[in-house]
Amino acid sequence: MAIDPTRFCINRKIAPNLSIGHFFQLVHSLGLNKVELRNDMRGGKVTDNLSAAEARSLAERYGLEIVTLNALYPFNQPDDALMRRAEGLLKDALAIGAKALVMCPLNDGTPVTANDTIAALKKLAPLFEQYGIAGLVEPLGFPISSLRSAVQAQALIRDASVPFRLVLDTFHHHLYENAESEFEQGIDVNGIGLVHLSGVEDTRPTAQLTDEERIMLSDGDVLNSVAQVKRLERMGYRGIYAFEPFSSVMDGWSAAEIERAIRQSIALLQN
């Protein structure tokens, strides 16, 4: 399986201790040209101590495309506070040159009906259109999540008649117990806007897995992320794959260790 390197993207979550400048430099040194930025980094700011214009200029200097800003939460509870957050993040995305904003559902055990989620999508869509930013809906597979299914997320997007697309995450796919039975017959690969990749080697019961167990890809990955990618390729997906590990073990990683982990993960996918 050969995937064009320009389809690989690096989520900033892999480099919690690198400044945004060092992060951009590292991605560029790998011969890659896509990044995801976040609004939940330790410093609390999307661009650290840089202005949006400075960060955008730096990305351009290194030839990098800012694919997404991650993330609006909880998108399916669009009260006044959420709409203010949405507009703030859309302004940030526009200022840094990000193409899309990721949206995650409520994840605290409170159910949200399909009709309420459709209404939320319809309420948010004009705001995204106003700022010219694409919307990417990422279902979360945790048992307490209000939207766990990728197939259902796509159906809700269709029912809402909005131009949003899906983020498919190999970790969250694994957590949702009905994902495999639904997937091949129910998923529309043309409606996938981004795929998030991580790996897990922890063998505890699936329902007990958390973001803390998410590392990079390996031969011992219980998520079978490489197999998930091979299936997506076979089904015709030709979009972006973004590496998005979460574990705190990366807090101590040097730039060299991050680079090595990314190279190893890409090599597994290219075999």
Dump pLDDT digits (tens) for 35-78: 999 999 988 899 999 999 999 999 999 999 999 999 999 999 99
The answer to whether residues 198 and 245 touch, using CB atoms and an 8 Å cutoff, is: yes
* CA 194 – CA 200 distance, rounded (Å): 20
Q: Write phi, then psi, for 95 (nearest 5 degrees).
A: -65, -35
Q: Using the predicted structure, report yes or no on whether residue 132 has a pLDDT greater than 80.
A: yes
Strand partners, 70: 38, 102
Q: How many CA atoms lie within 13 A of 206 on its CB side?
A: 16
The answer to whether residues 230 and 24 touch, using CB atoms and an 8 Å cutoff, is: no
Q: What is the pLDDT at residue 113?
A: 98
Classified as helix, coil or strand, 183 is helix
* CA 203 – CA 221 distance, rounded (Å): 10
Q: Give the pLDDT confidence of 214-254 residue by residue, as tens digits.
A: 999 999 999 999 999 999 999 999 999 999 999 999 999 99
Q: The whole model's pTM is what?
A: 0.98
Burial of 139 (0-12, 13-18, 19+ CB in 10 A): buried
* CA 162 – CA 55 distance, rounded (Å): 30
Q: What is the pLDDT at residue 271?
A: 83
Q: 8-11 and 34-38 as β-strands: parallel, antiparallel, unpaired?
A: parallel
Q: What is the pLDDT at residue 44?
A: 86
Q: What is the pLDDT at residue 203?
A: 96
Q: 148: which residues sit within 8 A by CB, 6+ positions away?
A: 139, 140, 141, 142, 172, 175, 176
> Average model confidence (pLDDT) for the chain?
97
- CA geometry: angle at 216 spanning 211 and 217, to 5°? 120
* CA 156 – CA 269 distance, rounded (Å): 31
Token pair, residue 155, equals 């159906």
